[in-house]
Amino acid sequence: MGWFRRLGLQRRIMLYVGLGLATMFVVGAYLGLLSIRQATELVYQERLGTASTTAAILEHNLRELVHQVEAVQNRLLRVDSPEELEQIGRDLFGQVSADTSFPFVRAQGVSLLDREGRVRLVIPSPAGVAVEIEAGEPWKGLEGALLLPARASSPSESNVFGTLQVPVTDGEDEIRWTAVLTLVGLNRDEPYFLPPSRAREGDLIGGKSSDAYNLEVLGPDGRVLLTRGGKTPAGKVSPHWTILGQHAWEPSSSFVFLHKPQKGQTFPAHMVAVVPLSSGPLTILLQQGEDVALALPLRLRQRLILFSSLGFLATMVVAWITTRHVVKPTERLTVAARHIAEGKVETPIRVAAQDEIGTLAESLEIMRRRLQAWGSELEKQVQERTAELQERNRELRMLYETLQHKEEQLHTLLGKVLGAQEEERRRVSRELHDGIGQALSALTLGLESLEQAGGDPRDGLQEDVERLKGLARETLSDLRRLTVALRPAALDDLGLVPAIRRYAELYLGDAGVAFQIQDELVSSRLDLTVETVIYRVVQEAINNVVRHSGATQATINLQATDDMILVSVADNGRGFQPSFDFSTEGVGLQGMRERASLAGGRLTLDTGPGRGTAIRLEIPITRRPGSPSYV
């Protein structure tokens, strides 16, 4: 629902209104469609009633023909001569053929058959169809008469509706005569109007009368026996016959269906009411166009859609105008509040309203004025403090420049001190080696000569000589260590790597620490200052391995790049927890850092409890301009 919270107030209100209206119109549309469906069902029932009425009219037409035969029944029972029979036949034919009150069918011919089924009279002669008595059950409603639909399909007999067999019985219900009426359908191209209705101007719908229908009377084989305004001529099979089969229609049932064109068909959609005729195997099809039959439901549906759409749009427009009138001042206040939050308090807040929005706008305007006043006062104080800070910064800048100058002087002085220290070490080492060292060597040689001169072992002189000789050797060894520690002659004479190897042998070897020196330097000799710094750093690292680490192995690695010398001393000792405060480090580490810094290099320490210690030195091959030389 994050998107809903980001919606503006007006859009949110419009969404609420739209949902409410949609719900209301959906309910209204449902009720409207329900009413339209009921109206459609009423139309279906009304069309079905009209078809039933038409079927009743056709049955009445047939019964009237039967009554015409019954009118001459007594004369037929008393006939004595052929002449009298012919006169009765002609009178009957004149009545059934000349009566214009028959709406659908009339008699085209009359045949009289005796009790044996022999044709005794045919009027007119020939009748146009073969006359014979067929067996069958009389249809109820025809008072014992039998209706036989026409079976001929020749063009000359296309209008033949069928035959009506009317039995003439005596007082003992014995058939004496059978009158066979040949019926023809009164087909018309004009639409069928249910009597006594007639098309009126007020009943026209789209130029069509709501009382006008297309009528088809179908036989048991689907052929059209009678048509009024239909597209299928009499004698042809109706296209609706197939549809009746698709609907699983039973000849005794009535129903209504909507016949719509399928793909490739062009006829207009129309409603068809199907009613079977109770007086014979006939079916009444009453057709009417969908636009006429369902004019009222369709009109109601169109109006429902139109009025619903217009009502929805009109309501949304009114809601939008109303919410806009309410939300617009709120949007202005929102913009003003955003400006105040951003520190833009110069623009006044103007909202012309007397309601809660106006009260809120007035409160925001008071707050804006106060913030503006406070901002001005704060800006004045900031300017004053800024001036003071600028003065303090100027003083601090001067102090920093002074300290930087002092640091440079101290850096230079330290370099000179270290240089003097190295020079003094070199001088002391040389004097110790040349003076005291040679004297101790001479003393050792003298003691060896005295020992070789011999003497009485019992007087103790031999033991004293041996003790003095050992003392002289130890003193000479300590002197050599001291001279190597002060300034090894190998560093000046042989170079960096031999000097480091000599120092490692003296200290690491005597301490029982196995060591390995990996020399990857491409040049045999480096700048004297660089060699001195590297030697002193490695020297202090070796001392730390011997004194503090408790290591059994150590590795010294020297390698060179294009402009840097990389040196590392690593051991497998106990290690320690490094301190990020350099002031708490030991003197040895601080001294190594100072030497590396004076030569333009950098010293790093990698250690930890239980994982040994590695000291790494990165020093440029060429000294920085202005760096002191202390060798």
CATH number of the domain enclosing 538? 3.30.565.10
pLDDT of residue 290: 81
- Domain co-membership, 216 together with 175: no
Overall domain count for the chain: 3
- Domain co-membership, 500 together with 631: yes
Please say which residue of 296, 330, 353 terminates a domain: 296
Query: Mean pLDDT in the chain?
Result: 77
- Domain co-membership, 194 together with 54: yes
pLDDT of residue 34: 84
* Residue 420 is assigned to a structural domain of this protein: no
Share of the chain above pLDDT 90, in %: 8
Query: Beta partners for 148?
Result: 163
Side chain identity at residue 105, one-letter code: V
- Domain co-membership, 177 together with 200: no
The Cα 164–Cα 139 span in angstroms is 11
Query: pLDDT tens digit string along 325-342?
Result: 777 777 777 777 777 777
Q: How confident is the model at residue 441 (pLDDT cuts 50, 70, 90)?
A: low
* Region label for 616, one of left (φ > 0), alpha (ψ between -120 and 50) or beta (otherwise): beta
Query: Domain range for residue 82?
Result: 72-185
The sign of the torsion formed by the CA atoms of 55, 58, 64, 66 equals negative
Cβ neighbours, 10 Å, residue 365: 15
* Residue 138 is assigned to a structural domain of this protein: yes
The sign of the torsion formed by the CA atoms of 60, 62, 65, 69 equals negative
The pTM for the full model equals 0.48
Q: What is the mean pLDDT of residues 8-37?
A: 78
Q: How confident is the model at residue 204 (pLDDT cuts 50, 70, 90)?
A: very low
pLDDT of residue 584: 45
- Domain co-membership, 230 together with 120: no
Q: What is the mean pLDDT of residues 420-449?
A: 62
- In this predicted structure, the answer to whether residue 494 has a pLDDT above a threshold of 50 is yes
Please say which residue of 185, 213, 235 terminates a domain: 185
Q: What CATH code is carried by the domain that includes residue 95?
A: 3.30.450.20
pLDDT of residue 207: 42
* Residue 258 is assigned to a structural domain of this protein: yes
DSSP-assigned letters across all residues of 403-432: HHHHHHHHHHHHHHHHHHHHHHHHHHHHHI
Residue, of 61 and 488, whose pLDDT is higher: 61
- Domain co-membership, 79 together with 200: no
Query: Beta partners for 556?
Result: 517, 569
Please say which residue of 185, 219, 252 terminates a domain: 185
Share of the chain above pLDDT 70, in %: 73
The Cα 312–Cα 309 span in angstroms is 5
Q: Would you say 68 and 96 are in contact if contact means Cβ atoms under 8 Å apart?
A: yes
* Residue 177 is assigned to a structural domain of this protein: yes
- In this predicted structure, the answer to whether residue 221 has a pLDDT above a threshold of 80 is yes
Query: pLDDT tens digit string along 354-374?
Result: 567 777 777 777 887 888 788
What contacts 86, CB < 8 A, 6 or more positions away? 121, 123
Residue 578: DSSP 8-state: -
* Residue 366 is assigned to a structural domain of this protein: no
- In this predicted structure, the answer to whether residue 343 has a pLDDT above a threshold of 80 is no
Q: How far apart are the first and last CA of the chain?
A: 77
Q: How confident is the model at residue 413 (pLDDT cuts 50, 70, 90)?
A: low
* Residue 429 is assigned to a structural domain of this protein: no
The Cα 59–Cα 101 span in angstroms is 13
- Domain co-membership, 217 together with 203: yes
* Residue 481 is assigned to a structural domain of this protein: no
Query: pLDDT tens digit string along 579-603?
Result: 654 444 555 788 888 888 877 889 9
Within the chain, how many helices (H) and strands (E) appear? Answer: 14, 18
Among residues 582, 577, 588, the alpha carbon closest in space to that of 547 is found at 588
CA dihedral 192, 193, 196, 201 (to 10 degrees): -150
Query: pLDDT tens digit string along 530-575?
Result: 888 888 899 889 989 998 888 999 999 999 888 889 999 999 999 8
